[in-house]
Structure formats: C-alpha cells, structure tokens
Structure 1
C-alpha cells in the first residue's frame, strides 16, 4: 500500500510539473507521513527481467547447452548412434538459436537473448567432460533427455501463456521439434 501511495504521489507531482503548475507541498500527500524507517522500503525494487526476456534467456541457454554438450559427444562418444544424434543436435540448436534471435528482435522493445548457462547446465558439461566411452554415452543421453524435457516444458508454458507474440510463435513452432528430439534421446 505504501508503494502504491508513493507511486500515485510521484505521478501527481510529475503531472502537475509537466503542466507548469507547482505540486502541493509534500506534507499533504499520504506518502509524506512515512517515517524515516520506511525510506528503504519506499525505494523502488530493482528492475527484474520481463517474462519475454526470461523466456528468451532460458531458450538461449538451452540451445547453448545442447550445442556444447553435443560438441563434446561428437568427439568423445563411442557409439555411432550417439555421435549422429549429437551432430543433429548441433545443427538443430544452431537453427533454433537463429530463429530465437529473429523472434526476439521482433519484440517491442527488442529483446537480446542471453545464452548464459545455468549452474546445473555448467556442472553437467563439466561432468560430461570427465567421462569417456560408454560411460560418456550413457551420461550424455541422460543429459539430453533431461535437457529436452525441461526445454519442452518451458516451450509449452510460454506457448500457452507468453506475453511476446513473436516469442510465443517461436515457442509454438518448436514444441513438435523438441518433442521429436526428446523421443529420439529416450530411444537411445
């Protein structure tokens, strides 16, 4: 309630100033009755990422993880099937990144996806880097199932309730593609 009163008082003062009128003294606004201990609480909260920005960052990090983990698989996997899957993932997620950037650029204002990996994604890459042969193959496939399931969940949620039309269309377009990747990974 205090924040709403401060916000309303600030808007009123700005509106009167813009019209060339002097605002009423601060003592007449309800927000002025706050004591000094409320000053910190009255400060605006730091800006948080919009829903669209958060989704774009999640999708970008997912693509980055898929590409990096699949590059490891292309060189470390012992199974030809795993190596083929990895090559497909590199291509598919490179394409997905380009589509994401295009969809994000169409937002108003434009969004720049941040592909920074989550700590979990980074730890998974580190763990994969320490494995080889059949042990690597098993860990890579498990990581792919997990990553694709999490990505599919995020895409479905944004496709249903997203706030940026171009990103919502991107999410909707990718649902069947990521579903196919998940099923491929589960089948290995």
Structure 2
C-alpha cells in the first residue's frame, strides 16, 4: 500500500489554487478597460466639444463686452482645458492619441463669433454656450447610462453636474443680457 506524501498533497492543492487564480484573472471582464465603439465615439465627441468651449471661452475672455461674459468665458476656458487633459489621459491609458479639433458645427459657431463685437458678440457667445451645453449634457448622460469603460463613465459623471450648472449659469447670463439691453 502506498502512503500519501503530505508535501505532495500540499503541492497539488497549491497548484490547483494557483490555476484557479490564473483562470479567474483570465476571465476578468476586459471590456471595462478597452475603448472601442460608442465609448471611442464619446471620447472624440467630448474632446471636440471641450475644445470648442475652450476656444469660445478664450475668445469671450478677451472679446466680451460685458464683464460677466468675460468672466464666464475665462471660467469655461479653464474648466474645459482640465476636461481635455482628463480625456487625453484616459485616451493615453488605452494607447489612443486624442486629437481635439472642432467638428463642423462648432467651427460654424466659431466663425459667427469671430465676426461679432460688443453686445451682439456677448449674446451670440452665451447662445452658443447654451447650445453646446445642451448637446454635451445629452452626450455625457448617454455615456453615463450606457458606456462600458469605467474611466469614461467616471469622467462623464464628474463633468455632467458641472455642465448642468454651467448651462444654468448661461441661462441666467442670457436673462441678464436681455434685461440690460432693454434698459
């Protein structure tokens, strides 16, 4: 009759345990880390929207007639610079080079802003900000609801509330500009 060697039994248990751990890590859901499909679309659309708000904000900070518009523009430029940096870091973690050029809609809005001065510029800038924030809120809410990449969902979550408050600020600024023009 063969005696079982306790050392041999321990080795087998360790081998089985090690195999289970390796298999568990191999089966881990990698989808939450890979940026593809709708998540990649979100990444580039969010980057383009933030780039537009950065440029519009920089323009308003120097070209705005109303001090509130200049302050709002500066705030937008700073906030969207941080958002772009955040998106670039997320993209780089997946070896994606994020280019943040504006899309045609944002370029058209910019071309209009560049032709205006004074109160008409202020009104057009705030109107563009309202449109941009409405579009961005829908984009970020969609990513939050159905995105697969944890880092992008976290980004959407952290910026969504900020964008909603900035949309409210733009609405209030619209009211202030309207009241001022009626005086």
TM-score (norm. length: structure 2): 0.72
3-state SS of the aligned residue for 1:112? coil
Q: Report the CA distance between 1:115 and its aligned residue.
A: 1.1
In structure 1, the residue matched to 2:45 is: 58
Instruction: Encode CA deviations 1:30-81: one digit per residue, 9 max, x unaligned.
Output: xxxxxxxxxxxxxxxxxxx721221110111011100111111112110000
The one of 50, 75, 81 equivalent to 1:88 is: 75
Query: Would you say how many aligned residue pairs link Structure 1 and Structure 2?
Result: 138
8 Å Cα contact 1:56-1:114 kept in structure 2: no
In structure 1, the residue matched to 2:95 is: 110
Bigger relative contact order, structure 1 or 2, given CA contacts below 8 A and separation 6+? Answer: 2
**Take 1:161 and 1:88, find their aligned partners in 2: how far apart are those partners?**
29
Instruction: Encode CA deviations 1:89-117: one digit per residue, 9 max, x unaligned.
Output: 011001111111222233xx433323121
In structure 2, the residue matched to 1:127 is: 112
Higher helix share: 2
The one of 58, 76, 93 equivalent to 1:71 is: 58
Structure 2 residue runs without a partner (length 5+):
1-35, 174-183
Whether 1:171 aligns to 2:156 is: yes
Q: Report the CA distance between 1:171 and its aligned residue.
A: 0.7
**Take 2:68 and 2:91, find their aligned partners in 1: how far apart are those partners?**
34
**Take 2:144 and 2:76, find their aligned partners in 1: how far apart are those partners?**
22
**Take 1:152 and 1:113, find their aligned partners in 2: how far apart are those partners?**
21
Alignment root-mean-square deviation, CA: 1.3
**Take 1:117 and 1:56, find their aligned partners in 2: how far apart are those partners?**
13
Structure 1 residue runs without a partner (length 5+):
1-48
Q: Report the CA distance between 1:133 and its aligned residue.
A: 0.1
